[in-house]
Amino acid sequence: MQSTAHAFKANVGHALVDDNLQQSLAILKVGFSERRRQAAERLPEFEALRDRARDIKNHALAHLDFYLEAFEAKVTALGGHVHWAPTAADARAAVLDICRRAGARTVTKSKSMIAEEIALNDHLEAHGIEPVETDLGEYIIQLRREPPSHIIAPAVHLTKDQVADTFLEHHRKLGFDKRLTERNDLVAEARQVLRRRFLEADVGITGANFLVAETGSSMLVTNEGNADLTNTLPRVHVVIASIEKVIPTLEDAATLLRVLARSATGQESASYTTFNTGPRRPDDPDGPAEYHVVLLDNGRSSVLGTQMQDMLRCIRCGACMNHCPVYGAIGGHAYGWVYPGPIGAVLTPQLVGVEEAGNLPNASTFCGRCESVCPVRIPLPKLMRHWREREFERHLTPASVRQGLALWAFLARRPQLYRRATGIANRMLALFGRADGRYGWLPLARGWTRHRDFPAPQAGGTFHAQWKARGGARR
Amino acid sequence: MSGREQILGTIRRSLKRDALSGAAREAAEARLRQHPVNIVPARAAGTPDERLRTFEHWATFNHATVARVAAAEVPQAVADYLTSNNLPARAVMAPDPALDRYDWGGRPLLELRRGLPLDADRVAITGALAGIAETGTLVLASGPAHPTSIHLLPETHVAVLREADVVGPMEEVFDRLRARYGEGVMPRTVCTVTGPSRTGDIEQQLELGAHGPRRLHILLVGD
Ligand code: SF4
C-alpha cells in the first residue's frame, strides 16, 4: 500500500470531523479494552504468561536463523515449498509465480497484514488475477477500496449503515437487491456471496500468526472460519508470513495463544486456531495438493541486534491501539499506512522510512497505556522516543518545533533567566484563562487549541516558585 | 546470492555471530526435541470429573452447547437436537470408524451420508480427537476419518466427544498428537475449535455463523 504517513497532520484533520468514524471509535474505546480487562481478570496467570510470552519471542529472535532453517526443513520434508523473500517485491513475485503456475483466475484470501504490507492485491489484479478477501471486515473494505483501519478489525471505522449501502451497491448485480438493515442479515448475505467464491477459487492465500519450527506448522487464529476454508478448499495453499513469526515449539505456541486472544478481543480463545502442516496427505479426503510458505524479511533482519529489536516481538493483537487515546481520537486511516496506533508509529518509520513517517512517533501523549497492555511487553513509548530522536538528529523536525526546543534549551541552561521567563509566561496565561480553568484559545497555539483545550496553570505561580515555597528538595 | 542466503546472512550479521554452533546449537536443538512446557493455568488441572465440568463451563461460555449422554443414547440425542432446532433429520457424517460404535440404525428416521460434505449439507456429525477443558475447545485432526471441510461448510456441527478424550490444557493435546503421529509430526490440519463461527466486524457486535457453523453442539459421551 502507498503510504500517506507524510500527510499525517492533514489526515488527522479529516478524521476529527468525520462523524461516522467518531461514532465507530466511541464503540471501540469501551468495547475492546473492557473485554480485555475482564479476560485478564479471569486468568490469574495472565501477567506471568505475558512475561513468558516476551521471553519466548526474545529467545526466538536471538536464534532466528536457526529456527527458520528448522522450520524450512520440516516443510520441505513434507513436500511443501519455502520461498525466501528479502523484499516486498520478491514476495509479490513469488506469490504471483505460484498463482500463474496454478493457472489461477481467482484467489481467496484470509486477512493478512503482510499481504497489506506488500500490497499484494494490487499486484495480483494488475496481472489479471482476482483476489477475494474473505474475512468479513476485509471483504467490506475491499468492496469500498479502502485500506484497513485496525490490524484485527479492519472495518472498525464503518457503521452498519455504511456496510448496508456498500452491500447493496455491490451485491445488486448478484441478485441481492434489498437494502438490509439488520446485522445478522448482512452477515448472512456476505456468507452466501463468499461461499460461492470459496468454492470456485484456485488458490487460497493466508497469513500466519506463528510458524512452529518443531513441526513446520503455520498457525492461524480467526473467528469466522474463513481462513480454514481458504486453506482447505483450493488446490493450492500459500502462506505469507514475515520472518519474525517463527517460534520454537507447540508448547511455546500454547503460551502465546493464551495471551493473544485475550489481549486482542478479550476472548478465552478465538473460535478457530488452526495448525497447517504441509500439503494434503495421500489418504486425506480434502485439502490442497500444493503448500507454499513465503517468508518476508522487508528490513526486519537488520532491526535485530539494534535498540529497536523489541518491536519484532509484536504478535499483532491490536491491544496497543485499542487502548491508545490518540488512535481513539483519529482512527487508523490517519496513520497513512498499514499499521496504525502505537505499533504503527514504531513499525512504519522502520518499514517506509523516517522521512516519510516521522510524524507518527510524535502522535503520542506518552501516557504509557500501550506498553501496559502489550502482551509481549514491548516498550512502545521508548521506541517512539527513539524515532523522535532520530528525526530530530536528521533535521526532519519542523522549524517551529526545533526553534521552540532550542529556546527552551537556551533558557533551561540559564536558571535565573528561565525563572523570569516562565514567571512572565505564567502571568500572561492568566490573562487568557476561562472560568473553568481551561483555554479555548491561546496566541501562537492555535494548532493545539483548535481541537482541544489547554489547561490553565494552577494558582501559586510556576513549578519552580512553588517548589521553592515548599522548601525545595526536603526529605 | 539467493534470497535465503541474503536473509540468513543479514540475520547473522545483525546478531553478530555465524550460524549457531557448538553448545548454543545443541541447546536450541534440545529445546525442539524436549519441547518443555511453559506455564499451564491452574484451571486446567483437576480430577477427570472436574475436567469435564470445566470443559462444559468454557464451551458454553464460548457459545457452544453441551449435552452429557451415555453411548447408547447418542443417535437419539442427535435426533432430538435436530428436531428441537427445527433442522432436517438429515446429515453428513464423518467417515470416522470411532462413530461406528453408536447404533445409528436404531434411528431409521435419521438420514445419514458418510463422506465429504457438499455445499447443500446443513448438518454435519463428526467425532473429535480431543476436548480441551481449559477453554472448552474441540480438537479436530484431518485424515481419512475427518475431512477438514466437514466441520466448516454446514451450518450446524454436532460433535461426538468421548469423556475419556477430554484433557486439561492444550499441552496435553500435543502429547496425544506426538503419541499418535510421532515426534515433530502433524497431520495436515489440526483445528482447535472454540464455539461456533463468529464475527464482530460490523460495529463490533457479535454475530454467529460468519463462514463456518452457526451452531456447535457437543455430545459429551460417557462409556
Ligand atoms: S505492539 Fe504489543 S499490543 Fe501492539 S499489536 Fe503488537 S503485541 Fe499487540
What is the per-residue DSSP string for A148-167? -SSSS-TTTT--HHHHHHHH
- pLDDT tens readout for residues A43-71: 999 999 999 999 999 999 999 999 999 99
Range of the domain at B158: 42-221
Same domain, B197 and B101: yes
Q: Are residues B111 and B168 in the same domain?
A: yes
Minimal-distance CA residue to ligand 1 atom 7 = A314
Q: Which amino acid is at A469?
A: A
A43 at B interface, C-beta within 8 A? yes
CA A406, CA A203: separation in Å to the nearest integer? Answer: 57
According to DSSP, the residues that pair with A293 across neighbouring strands are A82, A239
The amino acid occupying position A321 is M
What's the pLDDT at A157? 92
pLDDT at A475: 46
Mark whether B26 and B116 lie in a shared domain: no
Rounded distance from Cα A384 to ligand 1 centre (Å): 14
Q: Say if residue A470's pLDDT is above 80.
A: no
Residue at grid coordinates 497489506: A116
pLDDT score, position A358: 83
Most confident of the ranges A120-124, A392-396, A435-439: A120-124
The more confident residue out of A409 and A312 is A312
Specify whether B161 is located in the same domain as B133: yes
Residue range A433-449: mean pLDDT, rounded:
55
Between A251-255, A275-279, A344-348, the lowest mean confidence (pLDDT) is in A344-348
Selection from A204, A281, A257 nearest residue A235 by Cα:
A204
User: Same domain for B1 and B91?
Assistant: no
Residues in chain B within 8 Å Cβ distance of A158: 202
Is the same domain home to B112 and B14?
no
CB pairs A-B closer than 8 Å: 265
Output the CA torsion A49→A52→A56→A61 (10° steps): 110
Q: Are residues B13 and B101 in the same domain?
A: no
Report how far residue A175's alpha carbon sits from residue A148's, in angstroms, rounded to the nearest whole number: 27
Nearest to A241 by CA among A264, A218, A260, A261: A218
Q: Please give the distance, rounded to the nearest whole angstrom, from the Cα atom of residue A312 to the centre of ligand 1.
A: 10
Instruction: Say yes or no: ipTM exceeds 0.95.
Output: yes
Neighbours of A444 (CB within 10 A): 8
AA identity, residue A353: G
Which chain A residues touch B39 with a CB distance below 8 Å? 45, 48-49, 52, 255
pLDDT value, residue A7 = 87
Residue B111 in contact with residue B89, Cβ under 8 Å?
yes
Q: Are A264 and A323 in contact (CB under 8 A)?
A: no
Task: Judge if B177 and B156 occupy the same domain.
Answer: yes
How far is residue A29's CA from residue A132's CA, in Å, rounded to a whole number? 30
Residue of A272, A290, A303, A309 to mutate for B, most B C-beta atoms under 10 A = A272
**Atom of ligand 1 minimally distant from the CA of A311:** 1
Same domain, B117 and B193: yes
Give the pLDDT confidence of A236-263 residue by residue, as tens digits. Answer: 999 999 999 999 999 999 999 999 999 9
Q: Do B95 and B197 belong together in one domain?
A: yes
A273–chain B Cβ distance below 8 A for any pair: yes
| Interface touch B189/A74, C-beta < 8 Å | no
Residue A143, CA distances (Å) to A127, A140, A147, A428 in order: 19, 5, 11, 54
DSSP character string of A215-240: TTEEEEEESSSHHHHHHHSSSEEEEE
Question: In total, how many domains does chain B have?
Answer: 2
> Are residues B149 and A229, on separate chains, in Cβ contact within 8 Å?
yes
List chain B residues with pLDDT less than 70: none
pLDDT tens digits, A93-118: 999 999 999 999 999 999 999 999 99
Contact A255, A219 (CB under 8 A): no
Query: Which of A15-29, A139-153, B76-90 is the least confident region?
Result: A15-29
B23 plus B102 within the same structural domain: no
Task: Give the 3-state secondary structure of residue A132.
Answer: strand
Residue A120 reports pLDDT greater than 70 = yes
pLDDT, tens digit, for every residue of A370-397? 999 999 999 999 999 998 888 878 766 6
Of residues A163 and A458, the one with the higher pLDDT is A163
- Ligand 1 pocket, Cβ-based, cut-off 6 angstroms: A 263, 314-320, 343, 374-376, 378
Residue to mutate, A260, A376, A377, ligand 1, most ligand atoms under 8 Å from C-beta = A376
Q: CA-to-CA distance for B6 and A151, rounded, in angstroms?
A: 29
Cα A394–chain centre separation: 26
Backbone angles phi, psi at B219, to 5 degrees: -95, 115
Put simply, the answer to whether A251 touches B200 (Cβ < 8 Å) is: no
Radius of gyration of chain A (CA): 25
Given a cut of 90, whether residue A406 has pLDDT beyond it is: no
Q: What is the number of the ligand 1 atom nearest to the C-alpha of A343? A: 1
Indicate if B2 and B95 belong to the same structural domain: no
pLDDT digits (tens, 9 = 90+) for A184-193: 999 999 999 9
Q: Which residue has the cell 473460535?
A: A271
The rounded mean pLDDT for chain A is: 89
Asked whether the beta carbons of B33 and A249 are under 8 A apart, the reply is no
The CATH number of the domain where B46 resides is what?
Answer: 3.40.50.10420
Query: Residue A456's Cα: distance from chain center in Å?
Result: 35
Among candidate residues A391, A345, A379, the one with its CA nearest the CA of residue A364: A345
The CA radius of gyration of chain B, in Å to the nearest whole number, is 21
Spatial neighbors of A457 by CB under 8 A, at least 6 apart, are: A426, A429, A430
> Which residues, at least 6 apart from A97, have a Cβ–Cβ distance to it below 8 Å?
none
Per the CB < 8 Å rule, is B174 touching A250? yes
Sketch out chain A's domains with CATH numbers.
Answer: 1-42+324-397 (no CATH), 50-301 (3.40.50.10420), 399-469 (no CATH)
Distance between CA A363 and CA A325 in Å, rounded? Answer: 10
Please answer yes or no on whether B15 and A43 come within 8 Å at the CB atom.
no
Q: A74 near A213, Cβ under 8 Å?
A: yes
Strands laid side by side in the A210-212 sheet: A246-247, A210-212, A217-222, A272-276, B189-193, B137-141, B130-132, B166-167
